[in-house]
Structure 1
């Protein structure tokens, strides 16, 4: 039975996948190089933990490609004082990355079994100290809390207004929007005074599964 050298695989992922995709932020690269992605991958796909692939985790959700995760973390430019909202906990690995870069992470997950498994993985790695996972439908969630940064890990056809309302003035929201297979990852910047969106920054093209309930409404053809 072949034993996988995950430390070497992690180093290769960073140097041959992530860095060549213009991810150069030292804190992001260090986070990706240190956190054990294999500990968050379902057992059936563990050998592919560091492959340039989306990996299924159940309920139609996936772990995104490492290059997409790296670009996302770099675009958010998280500071050690930031409070972050993640919409879509998934496996918990990206949650762990956010937690290492920011002061606090609140992560919303629709599926209770994914949330429970993600929390267990974070706890097993000692990475749950500044992370809280809530089982809620983000598309119908009501909250008065505001965050410095928001990361949406599933695509949306149209960015829900409530997501923008959760941004602090001067905050930023990462989201992938559009219609498959031509989606665009964007960073929406909130005004420092009133919180309204003042700038939309297009980052890169991608194609990821939609957030549950955020897919385009099917149009009837006559």
Structure 2
């Protein structure tokens, strides 16, 4: 029988803190949200390993280090409205709900969206709302947002997100580049989103976030 509480503490002490993520609200949220409750039942024993956890074809729960470092860069505060793009089964949303005023979780897969809603309700995340729709479109009716986090990789950020970020708003995404990639933090300026590299990371490219390949004869 896995001791999930001990696994959660080990995740924080061996993966998150050594990655220079030490903000108390993030550490507290990661210690309190049971990651094992937001993965497919057969994968509960590996929920805390330092790697992505598969959720569906081409979809993963980001590994703890990557997710924590993205949260650290975004510096989510108690007055922030957050858009969580590609929430999967709701783990990232449950963590963010402890940091933000409110979080809108967007999920394209109907079955995962339904599961996320049920699991978030069971977790007591009453400031989180799950919306079903195409990830690349964002969700304009709830915006604009203080923070957007993309739970997967993108080859080019869909244009919809520029219109859904408040001035001065922050966005974090993993940009795929062949077999590699890097997590970047964006700041919404009058000239558009200004990006800077945070750290190297890879993840599967989300639906609608790939660059269309040019046709060649």
Deviation at residue 195 of structure 1 after TM alignment: 7.1
The 5 Å alignment of 1:26-175 reads 26-127=24-125, 129-140=126-137, 143=140, 145-175=143-173
TM-score (norm 2): 0.94
1: CA distance, partners of 2:188 / 2:34: 33
Whether the 8 Å CA contact 1:168–1:195 is kept in 2: the answer is: no
Bigger drift between 199-208 and 10-19 goes to 199-208
| 1:71/1:142 CA distance change after superposition, 3 Å | closer
2: CA distance, partners of 1:65 / 1:164: 26
* Aligned with residue 207 of structure 1, among 173, 195, 202: 202
Q: 2:212 maps to what in 1?
A: 217
Bigger drift between 140-149 and 98-107 goes to 140-149
2: CA distance, partners of 1:195 / 1:80: 27
Larger relative contact order (C-alpha < 8 A, sep ≥ 6)?
A: 2
SS of the aligned residue for 1:106 comes to strand
**RMSD, aligned α-carbons:** 1.6
Structure 2, gaps ≥5 residues long: none
Deviation at residue 217 of structure 1 after TM alignment: 2.9
2: CA distance, partners of 1:208 / 1:120: 26
Whether the 8 Å CA contact 2:176–2:205 is kept in 1: the answer is: no
Structure 1, gaps ≥5 residues long: none
| 1:218/1:93 CA distance change after superposition, 3 Å | same
2: CA distance, partners of 1:81 / 1:123: 21
Whether the 8 Å CA contact 2:107–2:132 is kept in 1: the answer is: yes
Deviation at residue 36 of structure 1 after TM alignment: 0.7
Whether the 8 Å CA contact 2:183–2:200 is kept in 1: the answer is: yes
1: CA distance, partners of 2:81 / 2:75: 12
1: CA distance, partners of 2:3 / 2:139: 44
How many residue pairs are counted as aligned between the two chains?
Answer: 216
